[in-house]
Amino acid sequence: MAVPKAIRSLKHCSAMRSTRSAFSTTAAARTTSVTLKALGLDSYNLGVYNGEWSGNGDIVETTNPATGEVLGAVQQASAKDLDHTLQCATRAAKMWREVPAPKRGEVVRQMRNALSEKIEPLGRLVSLEMGKILPEGIGEVQEYVDIADYAVGLSRMLNGKVIPSERPGHMMMEMWNPLGVVGVISAFNFPVAVYGWNSALSLVCGNAVVWKGAPTTSLTSVAVTKILAEVLEANNIPGALCSLVAGGADIGHKIAQDKRVNLVSFTGSTGVGRKVGLTVQERFGKSLLELGGNNAIIVHSDADIDLAVRSILFAAVGTAGQRCTTTRRLFLHEDIHDTFIERLQKAYGQIRVGNPLEPGVLCGPLHTKAAVAAFEQGIADVKAQGGSVIHGGNVLSHLAGNFVEPSITSITHNAPVVHREIFAPILHTIKFSNIAEAIEWNNEVGQGLSSSLFTTSPERIFNWIGPSGSDCGIVNVNIPTNGAEIGGAFGGEKETGGGRESGSTSWQQYMRRQTCTVNYSGSLPLAQGIKFE
């Protein structure tokens, strides 16, 4: 794509070109160039799509957090771009709702195949732009493919209920109809999958989708939208059905405010999510909130130690601690505490930290410099609040990117830093003496997303998943807190927002429920035996 003359004159775009030229002979630059080309991207890209590509907002560069390399630039949406896009999406939704659900599923099936064909370069772009290791980047695209498979099957099973009527000659049933326009505001840490969960289900439910991804992963948003747009074009379907409005907090706020957006699905921090929820509720819109997590694993004395150590390693260090389901608190029974800590420290010592595209690397960079600062503050707070760092605790400043050491602390369960979600690989370890105590500590934080118990005791297992057990939306036994499957509903309680995405009955959030009664009797009996004559 040729860069417009007006754009070439901007100083920061000139800086971008000079920065890129410094990397032009490196393997990193070659990898970036090949990846962008495979996905139809360039060094400058338009970030608004509603059947046509445009963009009149700020130009935002995205960088590789592992190297500092500028990957490219995306022209964001202006307020006028958003308004026009919502007009187009509203029209597309009115057309799409009349298409039979199985035929909507066929279009999603084609999207699934198109994504699968691009899974390697798209997964590589996720690694380049977000910073997660390549197997996780490819796995994230696979998650979109999987939810598309699920949505295709769902398109033939959007079932209501027939409800017994107390009145003779009457039939009562439940109908599910499309909402209209779904606005998706997704976060940087899953720049493909979270949109995929929402988009695939929204589409088979008969809605149009308007997407605002994170500004720091705008290239990924554009790449995914290009793939979907080709499928829509091939089927003579308005491109506005899968609209994109790249932008920052101002665009997100306008989406939350706009009555044309029937459902706002927001993934991000609890603080921002609280504002989004209030804004949407003020206009009586619907919101789906997937917010913070402060997840715990409890390891009892009878647990399979090898299984628990391997699980915690992935749960605490995967994606450099930047998952909402990352394990941040580890409760160890006093009988195994010392042995377990020794095993865990040894396992942490074998973790390779580095460029996420290199084979064998298990921990890539944090996404931004601000995240590195939050890591440093978290480590300082641990020490100030009576805890100690028993592994790691350092910023790896000798590396070019935003790298830190995966860290383990020893601290009390009620220290303020333990109750705060720090989006970095910091694992707080705490000793407990009985299961009731551990469950109480699991539940005492504000968040309620994911939790796990490692034990072989049926009594403890069923207590853990019962009414007096974990208060989280995801409650696991002998598996980590992360790595959720698409077949189950994903989401949490309390400050996690209460939303549910992906499987189970999550599709119902993208539709409006109607209770319908049909009188075929020719008479008018009233409910509850009321006589009005």
Residue 431 phi, psi dihedral angles, 5° rounding: -90, 140
- Rg from Cα positions in the chain: 25
d(Cα 311, Cα 409) in Å, to the nearest integer? Answer: 18
| Cα separation values, 392 from 119, 377, 387, Å | 34, 14, 14
Which residues lie closer than 8 Å to 169 by C-beta, 6 or more apart? 519, 520, 521, 522, 523, 525
Residue 282 phi, psi dihedral angles, 5° rounding: -60, -30
Give residue for tokens 């930290």.
353
Question: 10 Å Cβ neighbour count for 254?
Answer: 20
The residue among 183, 235, 228 whose CA lies nearest residue 208 is: 183
Active site residue 290: yes
3 state DSSP class of 424? coil
H helices present in 285-360, as ranges: 305-317, 337-348
Count Cα atoms within 13 angstroms, Cβ side, for 489. Answer: 16
The residue among 50, 48, 46 whose CA lies nearest residue 208 is: 50
Structure tokens at 229: 């747009």
The catalytic residue among 290, 405, 421, 501 is 290
Q: Residues for the chain: how many in total?
A: 533
DSSP state, residue 528: G
3 state DSSP class of 307? helix
d(Cα 482, Cα 486) in Å, to the nearest integer? Answer: 12
Q: How far is CA 410 from the centre of its chain?
A: 29
H helices present in 407-532, as ranges: 435-443, 458-464
| Cα separation values, 238 from 97, 375, 411, Å | 13, 45, 56
Q: Point out the residues that are catalytic.
A: 290
